[in-house]
Each structure stands twice: as C-alpha cells, then as structure tokens.
C-alpha cells in the first residue's frame, strides 16, 4: 500500500485534472514569468493542497485500529465529498475531494498489503468485504521500524511510487500548459 507521498500525488493529479482553466487575462498583464507555472487559477491553489490532504485522509483510521476499513471506501469518499459540497457550495471542489479520496482506495487496492486484513473495504457501507487486486503495482510500506530492512524497503517503495506517479503528474501539468497556449 502506498506511502503518504504516493497518496498525495494521487490527490495532486486529481486537482490538476479538475482545476478550472485559468482566466484569459491571467499572465498577460506583465507577468511573463508565469510561463512555467501550473496554469491553475489562484483561487484553486488551496484546493490543490486540500486534494493532497484528502487523498491521505483515509489513513487516519490508524488512530483507532481499523486500517483499510470504513475510511478506505467509496462510501467514505462520498460522505466527505457531500460534506465539502455542503460547506463550499462548489460541485467542482466536492468532486475533486471525492475523487482524491477515491485515489487512496484505488491505490491501496492496487498495492501490496503485508498486514491483515488484506485489501480494502472498498464498497462500505454496502459491503464489509475486503478487496485487493493482486496486482501489487505499489509496494507495501512497512510499519515495522525495528526491522533492519525497514528504511531500505520503504525507500524503494516510495521511489517506485514516484516512478509510477510523477509521469502522470507531469502529463497533467503538460496538458494544462498546452491547453492554455494553443492559439496564442
């Protein structure tokens, strides 16, 4: 199961894909230095941060010893998205938060798990069954800090996450930058 680094990157991907297009006047008022920016409207930048946090949020269940259960589900993503919709009154922000949490569920489902219960309770509250893909796209992050292999295993796992997810972040960033520059 991915580390907080991998989960945060999942939230970043969602935020970049769902961010509204920048204003047509943005960057044209003597701000030539914005050419390499993410081309995300300033008002959306807090949402980018909140998406990264939301993508990590399901792991709060470590605090009460129910890891991979209710918070690792579509139900939790929808509940959180509904709360954000009620608070923000923005369907786009609510969708971004919902999907950011959804990336956590997806990534854990695609990850290696070395601690029971194996998998995630993805369809809670409709089902209490645990699901895992057996794909092991993401390596397990060990919490066994006393083991001699702890640092090496977790470092390799995070590097693997970066190798998988950074190209997707880059593609989302490039898509945002090329959309706004066509026809200029």
pLDDT, tens digit (0-9, with 9 covering 90-100), for 116-168: 888 999 999 999 999 989 888 999 888 888 999 999 999 999 999 999 999 99
Out of 22-36, 74-88, 159-173, least confident range: 22-36
The answer to the question of residue 181 being in a domain is no
Domain count, the chain: 1
What is the percent of the chain where pLDDT is above 70?
88
The answer to the question of residue 75 being in a domain is yes
Q: Which residue has the tokens 């950011």?
A: 100
pLDDT digits (tens, 9 = 90+) for 11-24: 999 999 999 887 65
Distance CA 176, CA 157 (A): 29
Which of 56, 62, 64, 109 minimizes the C-alpha distance to 80? Answer: 56
Distance CA 102, CA 99 (A): 5
- List the domain range (segments joined by +) for residue 96: 4-21+40-175
* pTM, 2 dp: 0.86
The answer to the question of residue 95 being in a domain is yes
The answer to the question of residue 32 being in a domain is no
């Amino acid at each position: 199961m991915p580390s907080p680094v991998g989960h945060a990157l999942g939230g970043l991907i969602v935020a970049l894909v769902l961010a509204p297009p920048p204003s047509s006047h943005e960057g044209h008022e003597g701000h030539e230095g914005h050419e390499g920016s993410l081309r995300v409207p300033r008002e959306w930048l807090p949402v980018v941060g909140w998406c990264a946090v939301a993508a990590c949020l399901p792991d709060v269940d470590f605090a009460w010893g129910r890891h991979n259960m209710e918070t690792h589900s579509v139900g939790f993503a929808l509940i959180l998205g509904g709360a954000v919709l009620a608070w923000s009154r923005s369907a786009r922000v609510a969708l971004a938060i919902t999907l950011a949490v959804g990336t956590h569920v997806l990534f854990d489902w695609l990850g290696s798990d070395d601690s029971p219960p194996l998998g995630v309770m993805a369809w809670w509250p409709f089902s209490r069954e645990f699901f895992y893909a057996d794909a092991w796209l993401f390596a397990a992050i060990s919490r066994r800090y006393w083991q001699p292999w702890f640092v090496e295993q977790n470092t390799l796992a995070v590097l693997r996450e970066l190798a998988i997810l950074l190209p997707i972040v880059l593609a989302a960033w490039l898509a945002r930058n090329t959309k706004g520059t066509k026809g200029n």
